[in-house]
Structure 1
Amino acid sequence: MDQLAALRALRRVVELGSFTAAGDALGISHTVVSRQVRQLENHLGAQLLNRTTRRFALTDAGRDYYEACRQILDALDDADRAVGRHQAQPTGTLRINAPMAFGTLELAQWLPRFAARYPQLHVDLVCNDRIVDLIEEGFDVALRLTRDLPDSTLVARRLADSAVVLVASPDYLRRHGTPALPDDLVRHNCLCYTLDERPFEWTFVQPDGTTRAVQVRGTLQANTGVALRSAAVAGLGIAASASFIVDEYLRRGELVPLLPGYPLRPRALYAMYPQNRHLAPKVRAFVDFAAEIYGGRG
């Protein structure tokens, strides 16, 4: 017996006054309605309706049971409507994870516009420079910059290429010279980002389209690109930095781009989220908004 269907049948019979009307409202025959009510009575071991050939009336037990089942069905309908509202528009809390530099320098520039578009959404942004477990740590979506995606059950939507540029300060170049070729970097102090896939191997795209990997070393390595940028501005050495970290310093002339004919392999920006048959509207809204922001850059 489908008890929920039987409850709905009983409610319709009582409210509409007949098995035939109840069947019409439910889209089934009156005989099915009658059978569902009898199965419910057999399940309960109690008679709910006193029947005659022309009419019926609730028994005392039936009246109590009808009131209880009406409240249950109303609560279920309210729950369905609440879920429907969540599915119709982004609400609740959206937990986002992003790398520290990207979150503070790049994401922070456009996240307020996203929040303004969806005022019923509460955004919880967590920035750090480690790979988090989205499911275990309760994140809805993560933004990641990488050249090679690891094997994962997560959905990964590519949003854009993220350029990596080679930079140094004018003062450093005056003291140590300007490299003309990637191989010249072996004679320079290179500042390495330790969370890169291969932090001490920089791969360049040569004019003929082939790649050239160069082993580098230096007196400073760090797990944050902001620290490496500061060191490069101070004249300590050459850094391979995400463009969004150094763009402003390049415009002001505090840093100079190097090896323009030999670009570094770019990273890609991905939005990553757990696989779900029904993607939550808040996640879809965020990923689609990010795709709008970066639509012209990927």
Structure 2
Amino acid sequence: MDPLSFDGIREFTLAAQLQSFTAAALQLGVTSSAVGKSVSRLERRLGIKLLHRTTRKLVLTHEGEVYLSSCLHIIDELRDIESNMSTGVSEPRGRLRVDLPAAFGRRHIAPMLIDLSKQFSQLDLTLTFGERTIDMIGEGVDLAVRIGDLHNDPELVARKLGDQELVICAAPDYLRNNPPVIDKADLLQHDCIIGWRKGLRAAWLLKNAKGELEQQQILVRHEFGDGEMMLQATLDGCGLSQLPTWLISEHLQNGALVTVLDCYAGAKMPIHVIWPRTRYIQPKVRMTVDALLQMAKMKPNVFGC
């Protein structure tokens, strides 16, 4: 390996985080000019601009944000390896970056992760919530939980946690004030509430007479990028929605929601935990994956195991 291949990385990461060559220089015990020259050499070697220089502060370029995230991730791994080798203890430590689906993550995954951080005092959390597909490696994400079919990505490892079962439901008031929902074709005559997904067709998965899943076109009125908002709109009588049983079980039990088209129900969506493929799995990642798998076994009503 080129002995100079890591030259400038320490200076870049400090300057980017502190938004100042001067502040980075104070920590490193060198001049601000030396820090600036090191970063410039790094930019020339990479062939990209990492920082915009202004009179007041440094601003990361898009490429700089991606590079900084990757550098910090690698530095965390190196510190973790050194700590384990010196102490012989594989206790999870460092910052764990996890991306979660919004409603499911807030209700079921985040509380477990917070409990883990209480158990392991050197484990720090960064949790983000959303439904978009992210570049895990580029954004420095250690783990993600995803609901739905996964794309085949050789750079990622996936373990299945379970399945979420979907049913079509509505508030009693909506059903009383609208035509009956007897056949799947009736979905084209009713207000339907869906989760917003860029570029996805407005359809629900239903079982046909052979028990096979097929897409059924629906009439969409409202789109929400959050499961909790879909639930609230359905409870408020805004229309029909196809929602996971873990989200609505309480409302089915107390009668606030009623299922329809049960003969077509049975659609499931897989739940996976995924992480970047690497030869060395950090203890914080390995421990969290094990905890998620154990939780999935302990909560069949949530994960459908």
Q: When the two structures are superposed, what TM-score results if normalisation uses the length of structure 2?
A: 0.66
CA RMSD of aligned residues (A): 2.4
Q: 1:114 to 1:181 in 2, by over 3 A?
A: farther
* C-alpha distance in structure 1 between counterparts of 2:287 and 2:105, whole Å: 18
Matches within 5 A, 1:1-298: 82-84=83-85, 85=87, 88-146=90-148, 148-152=149-153, 153-195=155-197, 198-295=200-297, 296=300, 297-298=304-305
Deviation, 1:276, is 0.6
* C-alpha distance in structure 2 between counterparts of 1:184 and 1:115, whole Å: 49
Residues 80 and 93 of structure 2 are in contact (CA less than 8 Å); yes or no, is this contact kept in structure 1? no
Deviations 1:119-150 (A, max 9, x none): 3311221112322211111111001101x211
Q: 1:278 to 1:86 in 2, by over 3 A?
A: farther
* C-alpha distance in structure 1 between counterparts of 2:158 and 2:274, whole Å: 4
Q: 1:110 to 1:171 in 2, by over 3 A?
A: same
Aligned partner of residue 263 in structure 2, secondary structure: coil
1:27 corresponds in structure 2 to none
Residues 80 and 94 of structure 2 are in contact (CA less than 8 Å); yes or no, is this contact kept in structure 1? no
* C-alpha distance in structure 2 between counterparts of 1:249 and 1:106, whole Å: 17
Residues 166 and 264 of structure 1 are in contact (CA less than 8 Å); yes or no, is this contact kept in structure 2? no
Deviation, 1:233, is 0.8
Deviation, 1:114, is 2.8
* C-alpha distance in structure 1 between counterparts of 2:233 and 2:220, whole Å: 12
* C-alpha distance in structure 2 between counterparts of 1:211 and 1:235, whole Å: 27
Residues 164 and 265 of structure 1 are in contact (CA less than 8 Å); yes or no, is this contact kept in structure 2? yes
Aligned partner of residue 184 in structure 1, secondary structure: helix
Structure 2 residue ranges without an equivalent (≥5): 1-78
Aligned partner of residue 219 in structure 2, secondary structure: coil
Letter in 2 for 1:83: N
Deviation, 1:106, is 2.3
Question: Which is greater in Rg?
Answer: 1
Q: Which moved more, 1:93-102 or 1:247-256?
A: 247-256
Deviations 1:41-85 (A, max 9, x none): xxxxxxxxxxxxxxxxxxxxxxxxxxxxxxxxxxxxx99762324
* C-alpha distance in structure 2 between counterparts of 1:190 and 1:114, whole Å: 39
Deviations 1:260-294 (A, max 9, x none): 22215211111010001111111111111010111
Q: 1:83 to 1:261 in 2, by over 3 A?
A: same
Structure 1 residue ranges without an equivalent (≥5): 1-77
Residues 158 and 268 of structure 1 are in contact (CA less than 8 Å); yes or no, is this contact kept in structure 2? yes
Between Structure 1 and Structure 2, how many residues are aligned? Answer: 220
* C-alpha distance in structure 2 between counterparts of 1:81 and 1:191, whole Å: 51
Deviations 1:169-226 (A, max 9, x none): 0000101144222222111111121228844111212353123421112221122222
Percent identity over the alignment is 28
Letter in 1 for 2:83: A
Residues 80 and 282 of structure 2 are in contact (CA less than 8 Å); yes or no, is this contact kept in structure 1? no
Q: 1:90 to 1:80 in 2, by over 3 A?
A: closer
Deviation, 1:238, is 0.3
Q: 1:79 to 1:285 in 2, by over 3 A?
A: closer
* C-alpha distance in structure 2 between counterparts of 1:99 and 1:123, whole Å: 16
* C-alpha distance in structure 2 between counterparts of 1:263 and 1:197, whole Å: 25
Residues 99 and 128 of structure 2 are in contact (CA less than 8 Å); yes or no, is this contact kept in structure 1? yes
Q: When the two structures are superposed, what TM-score results if normalisation uses the length of structure 1?
A: 0.67
Q: Which moved more, 1:204-213 or 1:135-144?
A: 204-213
Deviation, 1:154, is 0.8
Letter in 2 for 1:244: W
Deviation, 1:107, is 1.7
Letter in 2 for 1:273: W
Aligned partner of residue 292 in structure 1, secondary structure: helix
